[in-house]
Amino acid sequence: MKKYFQQEIECMPHEKIRELQNERFMKQLRHVWEDVPYYRAKMQDKGVSIDDIKSMDDLHKLPFITKDDLRKAYPYGLMGKPLKDCVRIQSTSGTTGQRVVAFYTQHDIHIWEEMCARALVAAGGSDEDVVQVSYGYGLFTGGPGLNGGSHLLGSLTIPTSSGNTDRQIMFIKDLSATILCCTPSYAAFIGERMKEMGMKPDDIPLKAGIFGAEAWSEAMRRDIEATMGIKAYDIYGLTELCGPGVSFECEDQHGMHINEDYFIAEIIDPKTGEVLPEGSLGELVFTTLDKEAFPLIRYRTRDITSLTREPCPCGRTHVRMTKLKGRTDDMLIIRGVNVFPSQIETVLINQGYPANYQIIVDRVNNTDTLDVRVEMTPEMFTDNLGEVNKRQAKLVEGLRSMLGLTAKVTLVAPKTIVRSEGKAVRVIDNRKI
Amino acid sequence: MSVKQISVFLENRPGCLHEMTQALADSNIDLRGLSLAETSDFGIVRLIVDDVLGTATVLKDAGFVASLTDVLAVEVPNVPGGLNKVLKVLDGAGINVEYMYAILGNKKSETAYMIFRVDDNAKAAGALGKDSVKLLSQSELSEL
């Protein structure tokens, strides 16, 4: 079985990758300068001309593109190719308020699918596998991306899309799916349903899962792995850049390899925009290197992570980003403290509660309140009020030590928190700010 | 000798207790005894019924979290000092009573029945037996 989809690229020595990046970067920047007037104007506003950029070492001189630019330039303002050269549109759900519409040429689709195929191979996939794609199909990139990657790899693809959970389980079982692709919250939901149906990990042929499109904790990974008897891999991407596959985990499960032949990744201080050294936690910024229809220079993702060039046991040389703590969009500021839902999730799972929870933020008498609603489970319940109280207090204490602030914990009846078939809605913020 | 008690988790919101009793009524479950303990957030209802497994299934299907606990069903003389006598025995044996509640008895009035949740069922049963306090079995409970 092949260990890599494209060994020569994926394991290319760092200096060679730099060379390739540099060559592609100069070409990509020229493409943007000539074909994207919006970005050219941004460069000129900053007093930078194409001639000032001699190599990718000058990257820091270039202006950022933000979500706000995407909104202003909507829908065609950032395109690098005429519409007649494009073959596909994908779009975000717009849950954070800004809908992103991205365009693809044949070439753009091809490199995206290539990245997804690399992710599948890194998760142990080959043309012998049966890949069930339970991400939504449609404008959302999850379904089309993994579907394309699976085709390119030659795996047998089951395009179930999301929803109809009992049928998902039936397909996994009857059609011997070996790799499942969906959001982590949907994977947890499928696992929960399997348990309810009395199924054990050995009852299904799955060996791996590729779960992305939302931040999820290590604790949740362990939980899903135990419930389904699989290895669960993270995958990262944004519609703006292509979709899932921008980076992906390998068998080592220690950070996601960013496809450096297609992107330059930088970490910046989100406040000052200054580039931070390797290993620093900051905002992830991407420059595309080989995009035709939707090239982006220094695109600010609002995702918080860090990069490492530590050699990876898997042999891939591409830089790794750590598992996302969360999008800055997901981050809550409660009484001045930064809180990511994934931190709350970690505490819950470590104490034996299910990954289904809801965070309700409100403001009472000018003070922020944080209410974490957790479902009671048979394992956590006893007839003894004091004992249940004690467990509740332990949860409050666990959250306090993780977050540095006191949260209220409300225990609710099972199945009262709505399950997600796509991206979970964890936070309800009732503050009127 | 102990009997099974079913404990049910309830959210503390209007209608929650009724949802549970509705589910039991719909399945024709006869309640022998019931006690409710609550905090500001949630409550625990403890039930004594004849058909323990059937009731547990009804509750699970209706979406409630429930657990089974072994408790003692104690016959208490229905006279002044009757309960005191039972507690004296338990106290003498060093048994800790976590909670207790009365359940429906028979139509004759000489005896009352109480459920005791203690920290050591076997030890409590031994001490009570030695002092001729009668404990009910599950089937005796059903025949009340």
Over range A73-92, report the average pLDDT: 95
CB contact under 8 Å between A414 and B10, yes or no, is no
Query: What is the CB neighbour count within 10 angstroms for residue A174?
Result: 9
Q: What is the DSSP string of A15-27?
A: HHHHHHHHHHHHH
- CATH number at A332-429: 3.30.300.30
The reply to whether A138 touches chain B by the CB within 8 Å rule is: no
pLDDT above 80 (res A303) = yes
> Distance from CA of residue A148 to its chain's centroid?
18
Sign of CA dihedral A168, A145, A248, A299: negative
| Site of tokens 């918080």 | A304
Domains A1-326 and A332-429 equal at CATH topology level: no
pLDDT digit string, tens, across residues B15-54: 999 999 999 999 999 898 999 998 888 999 999 998 999 9
Percent of chain B beyond pLDDT 90?
66
Overall size of chain B counted in residues: 144
In this predicted structure, what is the pLDDT of residue A425? 80
Percent of chain A beyond pLDDT 70?
98
How many CB pairs lie under 8 A apart between chains A and B? 51
Over range A42-69, report the average pLDDT: 96
pLDDT digit string, tens, across residues B88-112: 999 999 999 999 999 876 656 678 8
pLDDT class of A432 with cuts at 50, 70, 90: low
Q: What is the distance in angstroms between the CA of the first residue and the CA of the last residue of chain A?
A: 55
A419 CB burial (10 A radius; 0-12, 13-18, 19+):
middle
In this predicted structure, what is the pLDDT of residue B107? 58
Question: Residue B101: which of B25, B30, B40, B48 has the closest Cα?
Answer: B48
Query: What is the CB neighbour count within 10 angstroms for residue B45?
Result: 22
Q: How is chain A split into domains, by residue range?
A: 1-326, 332-429
Structural domains of chain B, with CATH? 3-69 (3.30.2130.10), 71-143 (3.30.2130.10)
pTM beyond cutoff 0.90: no
In this predicted structure, what is the pLDDT of residue A119? 98
Over range A342-366, report the average pLDDT: 87
Q: Cα separation of B109 and B114, whole Å? A: 14
- Give yes or no for a contact between A176 and A205, defined as CB atoms under 8 angstroms apart: yes
Question: Residue A122: which of A230, A214, A256, A229 has the closest Cα?
Answer: A256
In this predicted structure, what is the pLDDT of residue A368? 87
Superfamily in which the A1-326 domain is placed by CATH = ANL, N-terminal domain (3.40.50.12780)
CB contact under 8 Å between B63 and A413, yes or no, is yes
pLDDT digit string, tens, across residues A201-259: 999 999 999 999 888 889 889 999 999 999 999 999 999 999 999 999 999 999 999 99
CB contact under 8 Å between A381 and B65, yes or no, is yes
Query: What is the CB neighbour count within 10 angstroms for residue B31?
Result: 15
pLDDT above 80 (res A98) = no
Contacts of B37 in chain A (CB under 8 A): 385
Retrieve residue A100's tokens: 């992103």
pLDDT above 70 (res A95) = no
Residues contacting residue A97 through CB under 8 Å, at least 6 positions apart: none
Q: Nearest CB to A382: which of B10, B16, B67?
A: B67
Beta strand ranges found along A278-395 (DSSP E): 282-288, 299-305, 307-308, 320-321, 326-327, 332-334, 337-339, 357-364, 367-375
Please state, rounded to an integer, the average pLDDT across all residues of chain A: 93
pLDDT above 90 (res A191) = yes
